[in-house]
Amino acid sequence: MRGLIMAAAAALTTLPGIAAADQTVYFAIDSARIDAAGMESIAAAAEEYRTEGETAVSVVGHTDTTASPEYNFALSRRRAEAVSAELVARGVPSDAITTAGRGESDLAVTTGDGVSEARNRRAVITVDLAATPMAPVLEPAASTEWNRWTVGVGPYVAFNNESGEEGWYVGGNLVASYHATPNVVVSGEQAVFWAFGADKEGVGSRTALGLDYDFSGYGLGDGIVPYVGANVGYLTVDGSSRGGFFAGPEIGLQFHGFTAKVAYDFVDDRDAGEGVISATLGYVVQF
């Protein structure tokens, strides 16, 4: 009897429309970067596609509950798309693949809101033995581009090392960022501050455009993401035209909803050592 059951089960797995075993790719928090173990799962799915003949493949992305549902939906889509791109790179035709994102709506492990759970941060690959592609998963109407925006606000502190005009700047900073890819971020910043210690004290401002690369997915710990980048912009001091255009590097750290960074601005018409070094701490809201 047991032999008959096993034979029947084996026969069922060869029938059209019966899905073979799924492959699952797991991700670090707030990341669509695929690690070595994930690449092995993708390679196994691609090999299964080749050996089964005419098949269809579905890739469904998922997240845990550590961000807003809207942001998580966009992140789940990016995870599915990243896995799909690797399948195509391994010879699976793009028109045989259906991608979808379910955000935090289909948890592998049930948790409350705001819980980091590694088993929920995944993309599931299903190789279907049907000859036609699977129907797309129905998804909520949402703009995945808009969901990649973040806004942060917090204090701004800087030291102006201009010869003869050394002094401190203290104020606030607003930054809006767009996640162009899972790791590349374009940002705009506006700081307003009061200058202390220089001959002319008063209100100043710093306007900057930045390009950053963050290291999410590199295994540095849940919720902790360092990044590096560069800024260009314009600086005004004590409400006058004194200041000028600047460019320079920055380093930062994102941790549990906050971003801390240090930047150095090389200001035009000054020696390299007479720039402005600044530090900001911002609370970030994703939407």
pLDDT digits (tens, 9 = 90+) for 16-27: 444 456 899 999
User: Within 10 Å of residue 276's Cβ, how many Cβ atoms?
Assistant: 22
At residue 258, φ and ψ (nearest 5 deg) are -115, 155
Query: In this predicted model, what pLDDT tens digit does every residue of 185-199 receive, in sequence order?
Result: 899 999 999 988 766
Regarding whether 261 and 150 lie in a shared domain, the answer is yes
Structure tokens at 53: 């003949």
Q: Are residues 282 and 150 in the same domain?
A: yes
Predicted pLDDT at 252: 92
Q: Judge if 110 and 168 occupy the same domain.
A: no
**Which of 128, 162, 178 represents a domain boundary (last residue)?**
128
pTM, to two decimals = 0.54
Buried/exposed 137-162: b ≥16 CB within 10 Å, e otherwise: eeeeeeebeebbbbebebebbbebbb
Task: Note whether 152 and 123 are same-domain residues.
Answer: no
Q: How far apart are CA 267 and CA 192, in angstroms?
A: 17
Position 10 confidence tier, pLDDT thresholds 50, 70, 90: very low
Q: Are residues 177 and 280 in the same domain?
A: yes
**Res 52: pLDDT:** 79
Residue 41 shares a structural domain with residue 75: yes
Phi-psi region of 161 (alpha: psi -120 to 50; beta: other; left: phi over 0): alpha
User: Residue 52 belongs to a domain with what CATH number?
Assistant: 3.30.1330.60
What's the CATH number where 253 sits?
A: 2.40.160.20
For the four alpha carbons of 94, 105, 124 and 53, in that order, the dihedral sign comes to: negative
Q: Please state, in angstroms and as integers, the Cα–Cα distance from residue 119 to each residue in 24, 107, 227, 271, following that order.
A: 10, 8, 25, 52
The owner of tokens 């700081």 is: 191
Query: In total, how many domains does the chain have?
Result: 2
Site of tokens 């240090």: 262
Whether 157 shows a pLDDT value over 70: the answer reads: yes
Q: Give Cβ neighbours of residue 209 (< 8 Å, ≥ 6 apart).
A: 186, 187, 188, 189, 231, 232, 233
Are 280 and 159 found together in one domain? yes
**Amino acid at position 141, single letter:** A
Give the pair of three-digit tokens for residue 138.
Answer: 């129905």
Q: Does a structural domain hold residue 274?
A: yes
Residue finishing a domain among 76, 95, 128: 128
pLDDT at residue 155 tops 70: yes
Q: Are residues 280 and 154 in the same domain?
A: yes
Checking 111-118 for CB contacts under 8 A at 24+ apart, the result is 111/64, 111/65, 112/65, 113/65, 114/65, 114/66, 115/64, 115/65, 115/66, 116/29, 116/64, 116/66, 116/222, 116/223, 117/64, 117/65, 118/26, 118/64
Query: How far, in whole angstroms, is CA 253 from its chain's centroid?
Result: 14
